[in-house]
Chains A and B, each alone.
Chain A
Amino acid sequence: MALKTSAPRKGGISRVNGPEGIDSIPLRYGDDPYVWACWLYYEDGMTQGEIAEAMGVSRATVNSYLADAREKGIVNISIEPARLASLTIAQELKRHFGLSDCLVVPNDDDTRPLIGRLGAAGAQALAKMIKSGDTLAVAWGRTILSVGEHLEMASLQDVTVVQATGGTTASFAYTPELTTAAVARAISARCVNITAPAIVASAQMHDMLLTEPLIREQFDTLARANRVVFGIASLRPNSTIHTSGFFESVPLQHYLAKGAAGVLAGRFIDERGRPVAGPLDDRTIGISLEMLRGIGTRVAVAGGFDKVPALLAALRGGYVNVLVTDAATGAGILRADGVTSLDGKLSQRQKSTPVANAYRTHVKKFLNNPNDVVEEMLDGLIAAHKPYLQPIGNSRRALVARNGPRPGKVGLVIGGGTGHEPCFVGYVGKGLADAVAIGNIFSSPPPDPIAKCAVAASGGAGVLFVYGNYAGDVMNFEMAAEIAEEKGIPIRTVLTTDDIVSSPVEDKEGRRGVAGNFFVFKVAGAACDRGMTLDECEAVTRKANDRTYTVGVALESCSMPQTRRHNFEIGPDDMELGMGIHGEPGVSRERIRTADEIVDTIMDNIFKEMKAEPGDRVAVLVNSFGATPQMELYILFRRVEQRLAAKNIAIEANWVGHYCTSLDMVGASISILHLDRQLTELLHHPCQTAVLTINTPETP
């Protein structure tokens, strides 16, 4: 490795002392800048910026020294074995049972009782999950009371804590009332108790109590719970369940005889997690297993080796999606469910394990759970755009325009993957698309929501599908078209193919659809709204697509919420020409040039295909891929306008902004719609959508 120590330093105070001087490597580090950088970072505790100063290199170089040093084994970072083991078990539990999270406390600390350690860990887990406005259901038990005793959160608002079962005899300290109250107090939440016994004398009494308005109101609160925390009791002979007074011992024998393996919130399950029927079922007042399983966050806190069968039953039954337990119990559960790889992992991982790097490796994003981005976006989007659209039935992946579909009108259905916002959902509303089908990130929706859209959009005059030309979309929309046609709805399809560099002109039909979708949707929506026939709508939409030309350029690729890394790297001085809208690499990589030169390349490509005469009119869309700011879009538009003016082509209408994005990709595309009279009229046709509103026929 050649040394770069001759770089001029730009002043600053060095914290490296000694007679060696600061511009050459101090003797004690040998000739190795890696060792030097590591020493300053790990031993002297300097920041990367300070090290850069001291070494006379850039911060980026320091960064790569530190990263490479780990790869070369100069630095080994190890995790204390007991902690590593519990982390490994937690990961394995999470993976094996598909949990959304798992916390495993190490078994190295036998000075404190297990209940206390589980309580502290449960409190830690809850503190991460409870948000303002939540309703948390709390089941009774020793461990859960301990959770309440360890929990402390001050800054929450409007949280309700509700008792998950009726009450019990107060002969022990962890009654449902006390457990719930402890949790509520710890987070300053409103506390709702169930003011009825957990187990009543008869089924009739149970039914009567549940009709009492007070208890019904308490149950309504329970039904609103979006999180629940509960312990799991085993039915082994030494379990507290036998002495707690919660259950009478005779019925307990009945459940045991029928194969009950565990109890959660007073309900019995067998080893596979199936409910076990018995004499207490109709006499128990509290959350049902079905209700429990319907709650979004289901935190079980339980440990101790005797609980392995009960915990395994609860996990198999899907009652738990966040598990807090201890390492020995966790390992026991995994072994009991036939996971054999654990022992190997525990021993082979004892060597050093890389931990998260100190330097930046992830793109920052506003996220809760990366797996929920699409659902959470839909929550916000459906609420934000309520005036224009609503879900079809209870399917949030199929949305219909309010006041869109009407009898006798051809319906327009658009759709595709997410990550392109405001595409496609922003174009749903009166005068534009009637319904939109929504897939996962960059991934076509399945046939079902598309078919739902077709039914919702149908006004008896047929339905037009317009979407981008991608293999996945084509397969799913075609299947949906078959389903719709079986229901007697005639379907026509126009694939958008506006990306002119994605395939040569001889293979125009093989091109993909990108931001020019905007124009094609607009024309199609107007044609449908004007009451044109299905044939006419299809024909004019096809014409709009044939006369729309788009070229995109990307400067940085996008990053997916789940990886938070760039899909691939575009070099510091490079750009990708012909970039698609899914973060897939472009058609060619070139050196980055000035904005005007880039626009010139794009416009030259477009002019080559668009046979425009002086005096012709066009519509222009300058579109950001997500991270390019409006300022730069105007700079691009400036040059587009100059190039068109030079050819004496008039701009009839233009849009500059975020219209069809690719998450946080840096880059932009330019789309030109070559107008004729019919297309001009349709372009100006009024529409009301979240992104595009046209009121008067004259000005867009």
Chain B
Amino acid sequence: MQTFDNASSGAIVLSMAERIVENRAYLSEIDGRIGDGDHGVNMAKGFGMAAERLKGKDASLAQSLDTLGTVLMTEIGGSMGPLYGVMFTEFAETIQGVETIDAAAFSKMLHAGLSGIRSIGSAKVGDKTLLDTFVPAVEAFDAATAAGKSFGEALEALVAAAEAGRDSTIGLVAKIGRASRLGERSLGVLDAGATSCAIILKELSDGAHARLG
């Protein structure tokens, strides 16, 4: 059975932060079309701060996710601070103390993050939010493992579903958040949260994939 090691996988969070910081301008730009254009700036700030604290620490994946979640939750504000903050904190709590992470533990972690987000936000799939990325990604992962696919194959399915989910927001009308005031005018544009969520899930999955043994 494929697994990866919790203790030596903290660097996944660092590369996640690197991707977010790289995409700062892009995320702000898509946010600016229907929102206030600060998504990239705030995300890069939060992820950058977390990376700063983690650099050179050699932390485990659980510890790294916990640091990231705490920074987002306590220092960033906005709507993404609490939403991603709760997601990463839930991720961290679920895998805390798990030495080697298998597909079942990974799925459990994803579900905990998802229910964390649902406990503070009121969005549903189809509302043009990060859930349009997250929910199909988790479903694809579970479906793949249920079909007897390996952990690695399930991670690939997760990434593909996340990206398809992100792209689906182009055809959606925003139902929640500031963009919802725009009604039909929000059509035809990617949702910034769904886009950053796809980046996060891809980095997490690719990182896990590369470490499978």
Q: Is the CB of B75 within 8 A of A446?
A: yes
Q: Does B120 contact A (CB under 8 A)?
A: yes
A471 in contact with B77 given A568-B32, A582-B36 (CB within 8 Å): no
A446 in contact with B76 given A98-B51, A476-B82, A560-B38 (CB within 8 Å): yes
Q: Is the CB of A446 within 8 A of B176?
A: no
Contact flags A416-459 to B (C-beta < 8 A → 1, else 0) = 01000000000000000000000111111111100000000000
Q: Which of A95, A476, A578, A580 contacts B178 (CB 8 A)?
A: A580
Least Cβ–Cβ distance between A190 and chain B, in angstroms: 34
Least Cβ–Cβ distance between B22 and chain A, in angstroms: 8
CA distance A384 to B201 in the complex (A): 45
CA distance A318 to B178 in the complex (A): 37
CA distance A448 to B22 in the complex (A): 28
In chain B, residues 24-62, which have Cβ atoms closer than 8 Å to a Cβ of chain A?
28, 32-38, 41-42, 45, 48, 51-52, 55-56
Least Cβ–Cβ distance between A469 and chain B, in angstroms: 11
Q: Does A567 contact B (CB under 8 A)?
A: yes
CA distance A122 to B181 in the complex (A): 51
Q: Is the CB of A445 within 8 A of B178?
A: no
Contact flags A302-329 to B (C-beta < 8 A → 1, else 0) = 0000000000000011100000000000
Q: Is the CB of A444 within 8 A of B36?
A: no
CA distance A479 to B76 in the complex (A): 14
Q: Given A578-B181, A583-B37, list of 11 further CB < 8 A pairs?
A: A274-B56, A318-B55, A417-B77, A440-B78, A446-B73, A471-B178, A475-B121, A562-B41, A583-B36, A584-B35, A584-B36
Which A residues have a C-beta under 8 Å from some C-beta of B? 95, 98, 272-274, 316-318, 417, 439-448, 470-472, 475-476, 478-479, 502-503, 512, 560, 562-563, 567-568, 578, 580, 582-587
Q: Which of A446, A512, A583 contacts B74 (CB 8 A)?
A: A446
Contact flags B58-100 to A (C-beta < 8 A → 1, else 0) = 0000000000000001111111111100000000000000000
Q: Is the CB of A502 within 8 A of B177?
A: no
A584 in contact with B41 given A472-B78, A568-B32 (CB within 8 Å): no
B82 surroundings in chain A (CB, below 8 A): 446-447, 472, 475-476, 479
B178 surroundings in chain A (CB, below 8 A): 470-471, 512, 580, 582, 584
CA distance A578 to B35 in the complex (A): 14
CA distance A470 to B38 in the complex (A): 15
B149 surroundings in chain A (CB, below 8 A): none
Least Cβ–Cβ distance between A67 and chain B, in angstroms: 18
CA distance A272 to B82 in the complex (A): 32
Q: Is the CB of B42 within 8 A of A443?
A: yes
A567 surroundings in chain B (CB, below 8 A): 32, 36-37
Least Cβ–Cβ distance between B207 and chain A, in angstroms: 15
Q: Is the CB of B74 within 8 A of A584?
A: no
CA distance A471 to B75 in the complex (A): 17
Least Cβ–Cβ distance between B19 and chain A, in angstroms: 12
Mostly helix, strand, loop or mixed at chain A's interface? loop
Chain B, interface residues (CB within 8 Å), range: 35 or more
Q: Is the CB of A475 within 8 A of B79?
A: yes
Q: Is the CB of B28 within 8 A of A446?
A: no
Q: Does B114 contact A (CB under 8 A)?
A: no
Least Cβ–Cβ distance between A238 and chain B, in angstroms: 27
B45 surroundings in chain A (CB, below 8 A): 440
Least Cβ–Cβ distance between A374 and chain B, in angstroms: 11
Q: Does B21 contact A (CB under 8 A)?
A: yes
5 nearest A-B residue pairs (beta carbon)? A472-B79, A443-B78, A582-B36, A446-B77, A475-B82
CA distance A586 to B179 in the complex (A): 10
A587 in contact with B181 given A442-B36, A560-B37 (CB within 8 Å): yes
Least Cβ–Cβ distance between B183 and chain A, in angstroms: 8
Q: Does B182 contact A (CB under 8 A)?
A: yes
Q: Does B124 contact A (CB under 8 A)?
A: no
Q: Is the CB of B48 within 8 A of A472?
A: no
30 A-B pairs with CB atoms under 8 Å apart are A95-B22, A98-B48, A273-B56, A316-B55, A439-B77, A440-B45, A440-B77, A440-B78, A443-B76, A443-B77, A443-B81, A444-B79, A445-B77, A446-B73, A446-B77, A446-B81, A475-B79, A475-B82, A478-B120, A479-B120, A560-B37, A580-B178, A580-B181, A582-B36, A582-B178, A583-B36, A584-B34, A584-B36, A585-B185, A587-B181
CA distance A446 to B33 in the complex (A): 25
B51 surroundings in chain A (CB, below 8 A): 98
Q: Is the CB of B36 within 8 A of A472?
A: no
B21 surroundings in chain A (CB, below 8 A): 95
Contact flags B109-134 to A (C-beta < 8 A → 1, else 0) = 00000000000110000000000000
A447 surroundings in chain B (CB, below 8 A): 73-74, 82
CA distance A441 to B80 in the complex (A): 14
A98 in contact with B77 given A440-B42, A475-B82 (CB within 8 Å): no
Q: Is the CB of A471 within 8 A of B37?
A: no
CA distance A44 to B137 in the complex (A): 58
A471 in contact with B181 given A444-B77, A446-B75 (CB within 8 Å): no
CA distance A584 to B21 in the complex (A): 23
A443 surroundings in chain B (CB, below 8 A): 38, 42, 76-78, 81
CA distance A318 to B73 in the complex (A): 24
B35 surroundings in chain A (CB, below 8 A): 582, 584
Most chain B C-beta atoms within 10 Å of own C-beta, residue among A560, A567, A578: A567
CA distance A445 to B83 in the complex (A): 14
Contact flags B164-185 to A (C-beta < 8 A → 1, else 0) = 0000000000001111011101
Least Cβ–Cβ distance between B93 and chain A, in angstroms: 17
B185 surroundings in chain A (CB, below 8 A): 585
B83 surroundings in chain A (CB, below 8 A): 475
Least Cβ–Cβ distance between A581 and chain B, in angstroms: 9
Q: Which of A316, A470, A476, A568 contacts B81 (CB 8 A)?
A: A476
A586 surroundings in chain B (CB, below 8 A): 181
CA distance A644 to B36 in the complex (A): 34
Q: Which of B41, B52, B74, B181 contacts A448 (CB 8 A)?
A: B74
B176 surroundings in chain A (CB, below 8 A): 471
B79 surroundings in chain A (CB, below 8 A): 444, 470-472, 475
Q: Is the CB of A585 within 8 A of B34?
A: yes
CA distance A585 to B55 in the complex (A): 39
A476 in contact with B182 given A441-B38, A471-B177 (CB within 8 Å): no
CA distance A512 to B120 in the complex (A): 19
